[in-house]
Amino acid sequence: MIPGPFSYHRPKSISEATGLLADLGEQSRVLAGGQSLIPMMKLRLAAPEHLIDIGAIAELKGVQRKGSTLVIGATTTQHELQQSKVATDAAPILLEASLLIADPQVRYVGTLGGNVANGDPGNDMPAVMMCLDATYRLTGSGGSRSVKARDFYQGTYVTALKPGEIVTAIEMPVPPAGHGWAYEKLKRKIGDYATAAAGAVLTVSRGKVATCTIALSNLSDTAVLATDAAKAVIGTALEKPAVEAAMKAARAVMSPASDTRGTSDYRIHVGGIMVERALKKAFSRAKG
């Protein structure tokens, strides 16, 4: 399959990239790792006239810890993220979720920024970013702004990203030492998008859940923060009724389509089980 023709641009800096994006307008698309966009272009579901390849912009790469904040450049690949001890020590859920994305070859090239900016509900990192309360740095030719992951997703392939803007960095508060985490993903085979997936990040104090966030992948038209499900377990030691209440509350915010991965009812059923597993695993990993 051969994509439609386009003009190729390879800027060397963020300002050059945003300048190109402003000049070339809506017929242009940003190319990061290309592991979602290139397949779409091959199927001619995307046919941009201009591709702005941000892969050669050095300032978009790398992981840094600044005090209690983790800052990850947008074109950091999944593989680089997995190799970054700074990132995976601070927030091990990044490693757990990243290893469940696609396959090794895709992870060498696919980027964190692409995964969060794409807007496909099947992407895994948006839910993880919601759990961690991450913030996306969006840069256009007029300057930069920050949008929380929890406010970024508006619908399938619809996000808060405005024309002319690029996700340049992902920032997140480092979770407290001793926190528990888990990302549970049910998929038909390695490399598949989730039939249902759930992430959980929590802290435990005196044997009980003190804080908790839960988010879901591919169970609605965007990643979803399951706020009521998290509330249901706070103050508990994950006794059966608390877990069941969390599963019920999480299922209430799921609205997956029936597709080749299963009927809507089935995906909601297993979605609840992913929440249960993520909570139990996160709780078992927490110290406190």
Partner 1 sequence: MAKAHVKMTVNGKEVESLVEPRTLLIHYLREHLNLTGPHIGCDTTHCGACTIDMDGKSVKSCTVFTVQAEGASITTIEGMANPDGSLHALQEGFRIMHGLQCGFCTPGMIMRAHRLLQEIPNPSEDQIRFGIAGNLCRCTGYQNIVKAIQYAAAKLRGETFAEAAE
Chain positions contacting partner 1, by CB under 8 A: 1-8, 10, 31, 34-35, 38-39, 41-42, 51, 53, 55-56, 79, 102-106, 108-109, 190-191
In angstroms, what is the minimal distance from the CB of 236 to partner 1?
Answer: 35
The secondary structure of 100-149 as a DSSP string is: TSS-HHHHHH-BHHHHHHS--TT-SHHHHHHHTT-EEEEEETTEEEEEEH
From residue 246, give the alpha-carbon distance in Å to each of 92, 229, 262. 23, 4, 22
Which of 8/206 has CB closer to partner 1? Answer: 8
In angstroms, what is the minimal distance from the CB of 190 to partner 1?
Answer: 4
Which of 150/261 has CB closer to partner 1? Answer: 261
In angstroms, what is the minimal distance from the CB of 222 to partner 1?
Answer: 23
Cα 258 from Cα 281, distance rounded (Å) = 28
In angstroms, what is the minimal distance from the CB of 7 to partner 1?
Answer: 6
Which of 108/157 has CB closer to partner 1? Answer: 108
Which of 191/207 has CB closer to partner 1? Answer: 191
Residue 59 backbone phi and psi in degrees, to 5: -70, -10
Cα 44 from Cα 145, distance rounded (Å) = 32
Which of 1/177 has CB closer to partner 1? Answer: 1
Whether residue 131 contacts residue 180, with contact meaning beta carbons closer than 8 Å, is answered with no
Which of 184/276 has CB closer to partner 1? Answer: 184
Beta-strand relationship, 196-205 and 208-217: antiparallel
Cα 88 from Cα 105, distance rounded (Å) = 20
In angstroms, what is the minimal distance from the CB of 1 to partner 1?
Answer: 5
Cα 31 from Cα 36, distance rounded (Å) = 10
In angstroms, what is the minimal distance from the CB of 15 to partner 1?
Answer: 21
